[in-house]
A and B are shown apart, each in its own frame.
Chain A
């Protein structure tokens, strides 16, 4: 089985002088849940933009399904990769169902209308993200969290093997955070989707992801399973903050410690000095 995403010696900078990413290489197998974590400015969103073809690498290659990203037409790439952006601003009053239907644009007939198959796909996506209840309401009337779920539904309706998400749980409450991750995991396990999610929440990511890319400043990166990559020393080095390591059964979790953090003697863990 060959990798669905191959990144080889990728380097990129917005200007030739300042390279944001330097010589990054990793492979993602189909059906993997990859979490990309790291401090602000390390280049996580840039990496995502490169993966979906919005930016071109200065050197190195990115291959989607064994073909370089540049070789795909926009339409063909949209059938392989769907993206949930950090912020999508609706300008006109499209309804939820119209928004999700737009994901089917690459599959429309010549006159630009959707088919039964498209409608089914959309209905499924709405069900899966628990947004069917307000399908006819305009997007602007929803809360930020509900809107986020709609955009995830849209990406799912696009029915692609790869799903990229840029901080998908930013605006969600605890219940929906878990709900989204459950949803993504279900998609991964049942349909075999490859999920790549940029996230700030390393604990939640650690619960769900199979692989982790910890991207630090100066392209100091670690790639591997969550168990290997997430350790107190790594996190402190990459994020520059002290953490409290806790354990729930076999799962480790990390809580950052600031100057005014409360006394941290808790069950089953040792504070990191």
Chain B
């Protein structure tokens, strides 16, 4: 039995030694308020964050972005640290950042946590609603010492949006079906930022409240929705005309839906409407052009 006693004793000593050596070092938490002076090497972990940083005039301070950051064009030239979904933590560290800006969903939250534990400054921001976008611009402005630019950016966007709302009016909302995927058919529900953009553009979602944010739907629901306009955002901006023709072919089987009947199916550039960023107004305007083409006839 004594060999078991030895084992037990050695284990206790090991555990004790572990806590003695490493227990102190655990508290590495920097608090989430970031000093503006530290933001001279910034890594952005999402395309919309990159856009915000560029819009605030921080182009020189950005040292790395994700593979998907394609706007503004200067961003595409920056060093890359992996994709939006799977960032490469080694590349982040190699970029020697003083500030890492991430979004708030699980994957990126974990990454921010890991970086904080190693000792890096991270700013985690949720941008899932339009109001959160304005907050985000504000926070990033504060963190990087660009409050003035941030305020200007926010008020600029809000002014343009108000102008658009005045133009399209608040009555006669156009029923819109926002199709993100054709096979299987998947649409944007009411709990999304796309929905907010639609409403800002003077429309309303043809689909009622759903459990999922981007639910797959069946033919029944398409017909019951009575959509007046169908919008498909496209991730390949080349040749939108050809894509629109193809869309008409595919939707032909729903000839009883007003949108199909009236040939109001639009394929638009997905870039500005797939991310919630400083080009919000451009996105909402592109939607409004589909809903009320007569207002933009100039």
Contacts and interface: CB of A to CB of B under 8 A. Distances in A.
A/B contact in complex, CB under 8 angstroms = yes
Contacts of B2: 110
Nearest to B1: A110
B24 interface: no
Contacts of B3: 110-111
Contacts of A111: 3
Nearest to A112: B3
Contacts of A110: 2-3
Nearest to B3: A110
Q: Please report whether the interface of chain A is mostly helix, strand, loop or mixed according to DSSP.
A: loop
Interface string B1-21: 011000000000000000000
A111 B3 CA distance: 8
A111 B2 CA distance: 11
Nearest to A110: B3
B3 to A, nearest CB: 5
A199 to B, nearest CB: 41
A110 B3 CA distance: 7
Nearest to B2: A110
A111 B6 CA distance: 13
Interface in B1-48: 2-3
A214 to B, nearest CB: 46
A56 B2 CA distance: 31
A110 B6 CA distance: 12
Interface string A5-30: 00000000000000000000000000
Interface string B102-136: 00000000000000000000000000000000000
Nearest to A111: B3
A75 to B, nearest CB: 13
A209 to B, nearest CB: 42
Interface in A224-260: none
A83 to B, nearest CB: 27
Interface string A94-122: 00000000000000001100000000000
Nearest to B6: A110
A270 to B, nearest CB: 67
A14 to B, nearest CB: 36
A110 B7 CA distance: 13
B96 to A, nearest CB: 52
A34 B76 CA distance: 93
B6 to A, nearest CB: 10
A3 B2 CA distance: 37
3 contacts: A110-B2, A110-B3, A111-B3
Query: 3 nearest interchain CB pairs?
Result: A110-B3, A110-B2, A111-B3
